[in-house]
Amino acid sequence: MNNGIEIRWHGRGGQGAKTAALLLADVAFKTGRSVQGFPEYGPERMGAPITAYNRISDDKIRVHSNIYTPDYVVVVDETLLSSVDVTSGLKRNGAIIINTPKSREEIAKKLEGYSGRIYTVDARKISEETLGKNFPNSPMLAAIVAVSGVMDRDTFIREMKASYQHKFAKKPEVIDGNMKALEMAYDIVWSAMEDDKMGLSA
């Protein structure tokens, strides 16, 4: 895959990790690239750990296997860190994004043997502030777009707005909240990346 990236999502059944992976495929498609977004189903139960995947490439995507050496990993539920080897196969120059109120230093201690980049987003807090409910997938989607650079901020915001306007045509009141959640999460991760570039971060 030329200029291809592979992303692995970890979540729990019912939290929207699969939906987030499909949304990412959706929005990346708008940039004219080849996309793939698919879930891996275990027992179909609320709360069971689930995995979802994305491939995004300039070439036609033909591989139909799971992703074992991802460029990026997104963890939608922090409690998975103690039971799932989330950094398994994660590329050295890749990054992991975790939904947590904790700092990256605290998280780093939990990810033994992992020395790559870590980004944290308190998606629960963002979601509760903007939507009044805990829907962590929108903030996590914005975070992975920022970290992976699949598209620039303006394109992402424009395409997501169009997609929400279509999806929530019957409840327009939730569009603003969702857009705000995306922007907040994007900017938090973006500024962490800027800090990294300037060497301000540990």
Partner 1 sequence: MAIKERMSGNEAVSYAIRQIDPDVMPAFPITPSTEIPQMVSTYIANGEMDTEFIPVESEHSSMSAAIGAEAAGARSLTATSSAGLALMWEELLLAASNRLPIVLALVNRTLSGPININCDHSDSMGARDTGWIQIYAENNQEAYDNFIQAYPIAEHELVHLPVMICQDGFITSHAVENIELIEDAAVKKFVGTYSPEEFLLNPGRPVSVGPYSVSSYAMEAKKNQEIALENAKAAILETAKKFKKISGREYGLFEEYRTKDADYIMLIMGSAAGTAKQAVDGLRARGKKAGVLKLRVFRPFPADEIAAALKGCKAVAIMDRCESYNGNGGPLGSEVTSALFRNKVMIDTVNYIYGLAGRDFTVEETKAVFGELEDMIVNGKQPVQYKYIGLRK
Residue with smaller CB distance to partner 1, 2 or 115: 2
Instruction: Give the nearer residue to partner 1 in terms of CB position, either 22 or 189.
Output: 22
CB 147 within 8 A of CB 189: yes
Give the residues lining the site for partner 1 (CB under 8 A). Answer: 22, 25-26, 29, 34-41, 44, 60-66, 68
Report the distance separating Cα 95 and Cα 116, nearest Å: 6
Other Cβ atoms within 10 Å of 112 Cβ, number: 7
Q: State which residue, 65 or 93, has the beta carbon closest to partner 1.
A: 65
Cβ(42)–Cβ(48) under 8 Å? yes
Neighbours of 63 (CB within 10 A): 12
CB of 181 to partner 1, least distance (A): 22
Judged by CB, which is closer to partner 1: 62, or 133? 62
Place of tokens 């291809």: 4
Q: Percentage helix, strand, coil, to 5, in the chain?
A: 45, 20, 40
CB of 160 to partner 1, least distance (A): 15
Smallest distance from the beta carbon of 170 to partner 1, in angstroms?
A: 13
Q: How far is the CB of 79 from partner 1 (least distance, A)?
A: 25
Given the complex with partner 1, which of 73 and 192 has the nearer CB atom? 73
- ∠ Cα 47 10 199 (to 5°): 135
Min CB(189)–partner 1 separation in Å = 24
